[in-house]
Amino acid sequence: MRNTDCIFLWQDSKSGKTEHCSEKTKYSGDIYQYSDNPNRRHMPMIDFEFCEEHYQEGLKDPNYTLKNVKKL
């Protein structure tokens, strides 16, 4: 059984509380993140799910690369 919640988290700017995205997932794919520190490398997130809003934001953000994206 696959997870139906988006893997990304939202942070409330007022309270600073972090919570899961409430949108249902619409895509699955591999997420690669770049690091500013040359001695540090982030592990890719393979076959994770994300919502429409986070998918669109990920396409615009140069720190992330989305690969093998499939619509669910």
Say which amino acid occupies 23.
Answer: E
Q: How confident is the model at residue 48 (pLDDT cuts 50, 70, 90)?
A: confident
Task: Give the model confidence (pLDDT) of 6-34 as tens digits.
Answer: 777 666 556 666 666 777 778 889 989 88
Report the chain's mean pLDDT, rounded to a whole number.
Answer: 79
pTM reported for the whole predicted model: 0.68
Q: What is the pLDDT of residue 71?
A: 92
Average pLDDT over residues 41-63: 86
Contacts of residue 69, Cβ cutoff 8 Å, sequence gap at least 6: 27, 28, 29, 55
Is the pLDDT assigned to residue 55 strictly greater than 50?
yes
